[in-house]
Amino acid sequence: PTATSRKRFISDADLAGISITNPTRRLFGKSGPTKLDVAVYYAAVGDFMLPHILGRPTSLVRCPTGRPQDCFFQRHPFTGMPASVAGFEAMSSEGEPKTYLSVEDAKGYLALAQFGVVEFHSWGSTRKRLEKPDRVVFDLDPGEGIGWREVVEAAVHIKQELEALDLVPFVKTSGGKGIHVVVPVKPKLDWKKVHKATGDMAARLAATAPETFITTMSKGKRSNRIFIDIHRNARGHTAVAPYSLRARTNLPASTPLNWNDLETIDAPEDLNYSSLPGLLATSGDPWAQIDAYARDLPLISGK
């Protein structure tokens, strides 16, 4: 869809009530972006981002003082939370009822951005079908000695392997050093089965290029290799949402890309709060059709 035909999620009415406290407070240092910059960014990308977070349990990174060491991860309702953000009860993975958060409309989303939320992290399932994931992530975590080009090559290799399994992989930068290969799946399997299936797939992928990939968490073995982290696909875990900013210098964004464009990116940190709105206005959301490509996750047996 073109920029002109795409669905609007944020209306002028939603934007009308903006009132932001401490708009000039700077994040991460003297010449860093301001709280207002964050709110303006999220308003600008909302039409692209909202389809990917609406109705999903979502955790937040808040940075109330603007100092990086004071940022924290928030999974549950909090004091001062905008009333338009939904809290809902679900069993925690430890088996106790807990209240989780989800963004249900543009109003709640904009309120969080104005409140000072910097990052959004979502589950791979929706509230409607909480126990059946519809997106899985292969989180590529480069170890010491691995450069951006190598991560890109690895992502393209994994894309080809996933396509050979009749899946349709999508790609985004993590906003950090890595890449997330995200696969839409039919919400049929529960979290345990999905976690196991993606683990088996990662083992298979790693075996196709053992000099490049590892699938064990052990930090020691990661140097000069890329860890295929499938643990975002465990119940209660999250991955940074498409278009979310990251709470670090210059606010890089976790940026969905077309596979062809991935290879044109020299430095992922150039995709950030100031550059991305302009790029998106001309390119549109490369993930707009992602849900239409959901397939069944293959159940290959592990070692």
Q: 173 has which bridge partners?
A: 179
Confirm or reject binding of residue 78 to ligand ATP (CB under 6 A). Answer: no
Q: Which of residues 155-174 bind ligand ATP (CB under 6 A)?
A: 174
Tokens of 145: 């000695």
Q: Which does 235 bind (CB under 5 to 8 A by kind): ligand ATP, Mn ion, none?
A: none
Q: Which does 182 bind (CB under 5 to 8 A by kind): Mn ion, ligand ATP, none?
A: none
Q: Is residue 180 helix, strand or coil?
A: strand
- For ligand ATP, the closer of residues 43 and 101 by Cβ is 101
Q: Which does 66 bind (CB under 5 to 8 A by kind): Mn ion, ligand ATP, none?
A: none
For tokens 């999508």, name the residue: 170
Q: How many CA atoms lie within 13 A of 238 on its CB side?
A: 22
CB under 8 Å, gap of 24 or more: what pairs does 84-90 form? 84/108, 84/111, 85/111, 85/112, 88/57, 88/127, 90/57, 90/130
For tokens 């964050």, name the residue: 38
- For ligand ATP, the closer of residues 81 and 241 by Cβ is 241
Q: How far apart are CA 177 and CA 251, in angstroms?
A: 13
- Using CB under 6 A as the criterion, what x/- string covers residues 87-126 for binding ligand ATP? ----------------------------------x-----
The candidate with the shortest Cα–Cα distance to 245, out of 119, 66, 62, is 119
Which region, judged by CB under 6 A, interacts with ligand ATP, from 40-48, 84-92, 127-135, 176-184? 176-184
- For Mn ion, the closer of residues 107 and 180 by Cβ is 180
Confirm or reject binding of residue 139 to ligand ATP (CB under 6 A). Answer: yes
Confirm or reject binding of residue 206 to ligand ATP (CB under 6 A). Answer: no
Q: Which does 240 bind (CB under 5 to 8 A by kind): ligand ATP, Mn ion, none?
A: ligand ATP
Tokens of 254: 């976790």
The residue ranges that bind ligand ATP (CB under 6 A) are 73, 121, 139, 141, 174, 176-178, 238-240
